[in-house]
């Protein structure tokens, strides 16, 4: 009798060549955007000390309480297949002395993750994430850069029109405790209408009640006190500034007072990218600030933030609109800048270029112009736009033709039409 064929474990799958081509496409587009935004690749172990996730992601979160693949090795060490990337990146930051590197440290990854979740459409036990983390920058501009970088990835994948950007601030250790008291009081008054899970969570993690998918719980959440009304001045101002940056470049977002994210490490800005059809169910990606995580994992207090997108879900979206995929290697324009004023102006310029359909990359880093030009060369940019302190002050930009090295100075107002004209002539 023929032997029974052994199958993949539940919730895992083979990526056959057709699907793999889409995964490769997502990886290439993602890499080209994050690399030119100044992020460098990191690979961390597939399994880690279980305590990393218990401390990092947090007891009381679904991931730690229900979804970890935890096992003992032959030396009786408790190990866990990583359920997400952020805790591992922060561990690597601390373990490898990255506190002494130039800050912020900007890292990206493209890796499989493991969660013992109930498999269904868009939900696997082994799934892939593309993610990037920026450690050591507390500015609201950093939040805006991370959010726009995430947004641009989906835009470049052709998914912009199917998306909705959800954003919220969940405050900090100063203002959140007061809010949690208010929230707990509200839910205690309505405890009889809560689902059994939420009744339990009320004692351990009341914030999570806001994003319960149960019908009655959702109705209660709509009427619940909103954290944006309880933010301390510093968190309020930070959130306002992030939104102003997003407004300035025309990113459409929805402030969602019920967006709290499922991992415990977040502070201040949180955001998710949804596809309009499925909403909160099967988010395409999520991220935010986690200003306490470095400290929680044993380092000095260091602000940080990041984002991770689900590759499997993103591929499924692309497959619905594209039959086959290809990536163009050469970029048209790279934006390099130096100085805080130029950095802010270039944030806007890059977005104006994208909105005008110019293929643009650029790192809004504090690194030297020569480092940024090296990145421009690496990605084969045809032109680099350079703005130093003098240009920022004068309202001008240098256009450098990368092949010949020739440079000219144009006004900031005319640079987009100039560059479009040049690209047309090429
Ligand atoms: P997360 O929201 O848990 O965040 O996961 C990010 C994305 O991974 C989700 O939006 C979803 O697309 C995908 N994903 C999660 N679970 C599954 C699953 N079972 N099957 C398929 N796809 C899944 C994080 O992991 C944070 N580390 C994100 C972050 C980075 N925050 C700051 N930096």
Which residues neighbour 383 within 8 Å (Cβ) at sequence distance 6 or greater?
332, 333, 334, 399, 400, 401, 402, 419, 422, 423
Residue 386: pLDDT above 70?
Answer: yes
More confident residue, 38 or 72: 72
Q: Is 312 in the pocket of ligand 1 (CB under 6 A)?
A: yes
Ligand 1 center to residue 249 CA distance, Å?
26
Query: Are 273 and 298 spatial neighbours (Cβ–Cβ below 8 Å)?
Result: no
pLDDT at 103 over 80: yes
The maximal CA–CA distance of the chain, rounded, in angstroms, is 83
Structure tokens at 168: 């919220």
Higher pLDDT, 213 or 177: 177
What does the pLDDT read at residue 396? 96
Q: Does residue 264's CB lie within 6 angstroms of at least one atom of ligand 1?
A: no
* Range of weakest confidence among 70-84, 89-103, 371-385: 371-385
CA 22–ligand 1 middle distance (angstroms): 19
pLDDT of 310 strictly over 80: yes
CA of 155 to the centre of ligand 1 (A): 19
Residue 362 Cβ contacting ligand 1 at under 6 Å: no
Structure token pair of residue 177: 């405790």
pLDDT of residue 324: 81
Choose which residue among 69, 309, 310, 317 to substitute to test ligand 1 binding: the one with the highest number of ligand atoms within 8 A of its C-beta.
Answer: 310
Residue 258: is its pLDDT beyond 70? yes
Q: What is the pLDDT of residue 108?
A: 98
pLDDT at 341: 92
In the block, tokens 């270039």 appear at: 346
Expressed in angstroms and rounded, the spacing between residue 129 Cα and the centre of ligand 1 is: 7
The CA-atom distances, in angstroms, between 275 and each of 16, 40, 130, 422 are: 25, 28, 17, 36
What's the pTM value of the predicted model, to 2 decimals? 0.91
Rounded to an integer, the average pLDDT of 88-108 is 97
pLDDT at position 220, please? 93
Residue 124 CA to ligand 1 centre (angstroms): 11
- Is residue 136 within 6 Å of ligand 1 at its C-beta? no
Task: Give the distance (Å) from ligand 1 centre to CA of residue 211.
Answer: 15
Residue 210's φ and ψ, nearest 5 degrees, are -70, -25
**HSE, side-chain direction, 13 A CA sphere, residue 152:** 29
User: Residue 234 pLDDT more than 90?
Assistant: yes
Q: Which atom of ligand 1 is nearest to the CA of 263?
A: 3
SS3 33: helix
Give distance in angstroms: CA of 413 to centre of ligand 1. 40
Burial of 196 (0-12, 13-18, 19+ CB in 10 A): exposed
Cα of 274 vs centre of ligand 1, distance in Å, is: 12
Q: How many C-beta atoms surround the C-beta of residue 80 within 10 A?
A: 20
Query: Would you say the CB of residue 307 lies under 6 angstroms from ligand 1?
Result: yes
Residue with the nearest Cα to atom 4 of ligand 1?
A: 286
Q: Minimum mean pLDDT among 73-87, 286-300, 318-332: which range?
A: 318-332
- Secondary structure letter of residue 331 according to DSSP: -
User: Ligand 1: does its nearest atom lie under 6 Å from the Cβ of 56?
Assistant: no
Q: Answer yes or no: are the C-beta atoms of 385 and 416 closer than 8 Å.
A: no
28 ligand 1 Cβ < 6 A: no
Quote the pLDDT of residue 363: 83
The contacts of residue 2 (CB under 8 Å, 6+ apart) are: none
| pLDDT surpasses 70 at 329 | no
- 149: tokens are 């970088």
- In tens, the pLDDT along 341-354 reads 999 999 999 999 98
* 381 Cα distance to chain centroid: 25
Categorize the per-residue pLDDT at 398 as very low, low, confident or very high, splitting at 50, 70 and 90: very high
Residue nearest ligand 1's atom 15 by CA: 310
Cβ burial, residue 134 (10 Å; 0-12/13-18/19+):
buried
Q: State the distance from the centre of ligand 1 to the C-alpha of 186, rounded, in angstroms.
A: 29
Residue 357's region, left for phi above 0, alpha for psi from -120 to 50, else beta, is left
């Amino acid at each position: 009798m023929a032997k029974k064929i052994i199958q993949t474990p539940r919730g895992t799958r083979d990526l056959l060549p057709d699907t793999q081509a889409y995964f490769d496409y997502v990886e290439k587009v993602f890499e080209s955007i994050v690399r030119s935004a100044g992020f460098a690749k990191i690979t961390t172990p597939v399994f880690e000390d279980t305590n990393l996730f218990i401390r990092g992601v947090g007891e009381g979160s679904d991931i730690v309480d229900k979804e970890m693949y935890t096992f003992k090795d032959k030396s009786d060490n408790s190990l866990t297949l990583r359920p997400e990337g952020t805790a591992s990146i922060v561990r690597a930051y601390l373990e490898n002395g990255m506190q002494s590197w130039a800050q912020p440290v900007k890292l990206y990854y493209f890796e499989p993750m493991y969660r013992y979740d109930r498999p269904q459409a868009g939900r696997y036990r082994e799934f892939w994430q593309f993610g990037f983390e920026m450690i050591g920058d507390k500015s609201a501009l950093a939040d805006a850069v991370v959010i726009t970088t995430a947004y641009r990835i989906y835009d470049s994948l052709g998914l912009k029109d199917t998306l909705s950007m959800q954003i919220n601030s969940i405050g900090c250790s100063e203002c959140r405790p007061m809010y949690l008291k208010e929230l707990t009081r509200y839910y205690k008054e309505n405890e009889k209408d809560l689902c059994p899970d939420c009744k339990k969570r009320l004692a351990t993690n009341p914030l999570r009640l806001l994003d319960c998918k149960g019908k009655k719980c959702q109705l209660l959440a709509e009427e619940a006190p909103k954290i944006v009304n309880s933010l301390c001045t510093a968190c309020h101002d930070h959130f306002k500034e992030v939104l102003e940056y997003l407004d300035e470049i025309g990113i459409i977002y929805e402030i969602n007072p019920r967006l709290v994210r499922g991992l415990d490490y977040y502070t201040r800005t949180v955001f998710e990218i949804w596809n309009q059809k499925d909403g909160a169910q099967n988010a395409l990606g999520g991220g935010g600030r986690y200003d306490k995580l470095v400290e929680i994992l044993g380092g000095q207090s260091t602000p940080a933030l990041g984002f991770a997108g689900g590759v499997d879900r993103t591929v499924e979206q692309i497959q619905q609109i594209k039959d086959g995929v290809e990536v163009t290697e050469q970029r048209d324009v790279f934006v390099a800048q130096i100085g805080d004023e130029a950095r802010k102006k270039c944030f806007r310029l890059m977005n104006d270029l994208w909105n005008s359909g110019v293929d643009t990359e650029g790192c809004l880093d504090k690194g030297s112009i020569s480092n940024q030009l090296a990145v421009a060369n690496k990605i084969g940019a045809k032109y680099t736009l350079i703005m130093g302190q003098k240009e920022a002050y004068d309202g001008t930009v240098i256009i450098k033709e990368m092949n010949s090295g020739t440079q000219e100075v144009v006004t900031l107002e005319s640079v987009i039409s100039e560059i479009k004209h040049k690209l047309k002539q090429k």
